[in-house]
Copies of this chain bind each other. A is one copy, B any other.
Amino acid sequence: MPQPYDLSAAELARQIRDRNITPVQVAQSLLERMDSLEPRLEAWVRVDRETVLADAKQRQEELDSGVETGPLHGVPIGIKDIYNIAGVPTKAGSKVYADYVPDETAATIGLLQNAGAVILGKTVTTEFACLDPSHTKNPWNPAHTPGGSSSGSAVAVAARMCPVAMGSQTIGSVLRPASYSGIVGLKPTYGRVSRRGVVPVSWSLDTVGWMGRTVEDAALLLQVMAGPDDQDPVASRLPAGDYLSGLESSGPPRIGLITSFFMEEADQETQRRTRAVVEQLASAGASVVELTLPESFGTAIQDQMTIMGAEAAAFHKPMYEKQAQDYRPKLREMLRQGLETDATTYSKALERRLRFSADMRLLAEKADVLLTPSTPTAPLADLTNTGDTRFQGPWTSCGLPTITLPIGLAESGLPLGIQLIASPFEEARLLAAARWCERVIDVRLVPPVEN
């Protein structure tokens, strides 16, 4: 009999619905798990046990009283500490937000709560979801980076301290830590999910996303959170799709393997392992076509940094002018550069990004999903940075929905992953393809944290 902490969000929801387990038992199982692992992993910023247990008890009472329950009824979730919850401090990993207590709750958190989720606590983020590393430890090996910026969420999910957790991505902050921890990470299309109530990095890039250990969980969370939000100007007016009903039934996808850049810049082992997975998928029936990147990819990575710097500077300017010394070094330097950027430089970067995005939309039309390794290498034994962002950033830049799946361990004992990418707002197709690949790859990674 598996422990509750070992179950996926979807499975927990089913077990709770079937009265095999109670929300309080689930919450207790996860809190005990935290007791044993959190001192070593440092994935959480704030867990208010009394609130968690009170919420779980309320979910139990709702269930007992026969009120209609949502698809996440009683399921605990971790929240990256840049999502606002009314009355709860948002620290965003920064001294600058030492005293910030928001009075509104993020739109996504409201949707999760309406679906019955129990907020387990706030997870560690790098400072303002940027590039200075956090203290969170990779559960596979604490000498290796867990990635960033959603390091706490990735590690909490990988180490089974929660089944799912919210992250966010401006360059690679969902996909990279998810891959580095050996779990599933989903970054929906830019505009698919409301960002209202999330501390911004860069308004034209920021995308909310999340981690889980199964594609089904990634889809379940999207089903709860996708859709228009009249109060978020970035949120698309397109109604949400059906992300769940096609998951188990869809056939083998047409896969576009991107051979340029990604397969060149990845280390030999990552290239070999990615090729092996592609062959495995092809053997199982997927059709594979090899694709190359458009010329406009040439400046995409540098342009994304220019854009992020300028937009982060626009947001932080009033705070930076008062307390620059309170920012950590990488972010301070990024803000300094952003403040010095002129409008024409930023405009040119935006305009080139528009071309890149359009070209990538055309590329994405050539297959059901594009495929690349998620990272150039398994996470390295280097805690001075959060890892290589170049493989995840382009998908944020062009706004296409992207999911990372674990494919196994490198010789170093650390996880490797692949990314699948689809056309804008084609998350249903992306998730169905990812679920098909997940079944074929059939890898379940459990980090050695019990030792």
Interface centre among A232, A233, A234, A357 (most CB of B within 10 A): A233
Contact B347 A311 (CB under 8 A): yes
Map CB proximity to B onto A329-347 as digits: 1 under 8 Å, 0 otherwise: 0000000001101111111
Contact B347 A310 (CB under 8 A): yes
Map CB proximity to B onto A350-366 as digits: 1 under 8 Å, 0 otherwise: 11001101110110000
Contacts A338-B344, A341-B343, A345-B343; A358 near B233 (Cβ below 8 A): yes
Contact B233 A347 (CB under 8 A): no
Contacts A233-B357, A347-B314, A362-B230; A339 near B339 (Cβ below 8 A): no
Contact B339 A342 (CB under 8 A): yes
A235 to B358, CA, bound (A): 9
Q: Say yes or no: is A97 at the interface (Cβ < 8 Å to chain B).
A: no
Task: Specify the chain B residue showing the minimal Cβ separation from A233.
Answer: B358
Q: Closest CB-CB distance, A426 to chain B, in whole Å?
A: 12
A313 to B237, CA, bound (A): 33
Q: Closest CB-CB distance, A306 to chain B, in whole Å?
A: 8
A205 to B361, CA, bound (A): 21
Contact B313 A355 (CB under 8 A): no
A203 to B358, CA, bound (A): 14
Task: Specify the chain B residue showing the minimal Cβ separation from A335.
Answer: B344
Q: Say yes or no: is A348 at the interface (Cβ < 8 Å to chain B).
A: yes
Query: Which residues in B have their C-beta under 8 angstroms from that of A361?
Result: 237
Contacts A314-B351, A351-B203; A233 near B344 (Cβ below 8 A): no
Contacts A230-B362, A341-B343, A344-B339; A354 near B314 (Cβ below 8 A): no
Q: Say yes or no: is A275 at the interface (Cβ < 8 Å to chain B).
A: no
Q: Closest CB-CB distance, A167 to chain B, in whole Å?
A: 23
Q: Tell which of B310, B338, B342, B359 touches A233, judged by Cβ atoms closer than 8 Å.
A: B359
Q: Say yes or no: is A273 at the interface (Cβ < 8 Å to chain B).
A: no
Map CB proximity to B onto A208-251 as digits: 1 under 8 Å, 0 otherwise: 00000000000000000000001011110100000000000000
A223 to B311, CA, bound (A): 39
Q: Say yes or no: is A14 at the interface (Cβ < 8 Å to chain B).
A: no
A314 to B359, CA, bound (A): 22
Q: Closest CB-CB distance, A309 to chain B, in whole Å?
A: 8
Question: A interface, how many residues as a size bin?
Answer: 20 to 34
A234 to B311, CA, bound (A): 21
Contact B203 A233 (CB under 8 A): no
Contact A342 B343 (CB under 8 A): yes
Contacts A233-B354, A358-B233; A314 near B344 (Cβ below 8 A): yes
Task: Specify the chain B residue showing the minimal Cβ separation from A352.
Answer: B233
Task: Specify the chain B residue showing the minimal Cβ separation from A347.
Answer: B314
Q: Closest CB-CB distance, A353 to chain B, in whole Å?
A: 9
Contact A343 B233 (CB under 8 A): no
Contact B234 A354 (CB under 8 A): yes
Contact A343 B310 (CB under 8 A): yes
Interface residues in A430-446 by Cβ distance below 8 A to B read: none
Query: Which residues in B have their C-beta under 8 angstroms from that of A338?
Result: 343-344
Q: Say yes or no: is A46 at the interface (Cβ < 8 Å to chain B).
A: no
Q: Report which A residues bind B (CB closer than 8 A).
A: 203-204, 230, 232-235, 237, 310-311, 313-314, 317, 338-339, 341-348, 350-351, 354-355, 357-359, 361-362
29 contacts between A and B (CB under 8 A): A203-B347, A203-B354, A204-B350, A233-B354, A233-B355, A233-B357, A233-B358, A234-B354, A234-B358, A235-B358, A237-B361, A310-B343, A310-B344, A310-B347, A311-B347, A311-B351, A313-B347, A314-B343, A314-B347, A338-B343, A338-B344, A339-B342, A341-B342, A342-B342, A342-B343, A343-B343, A343-B346, A346-B346, A346-B347
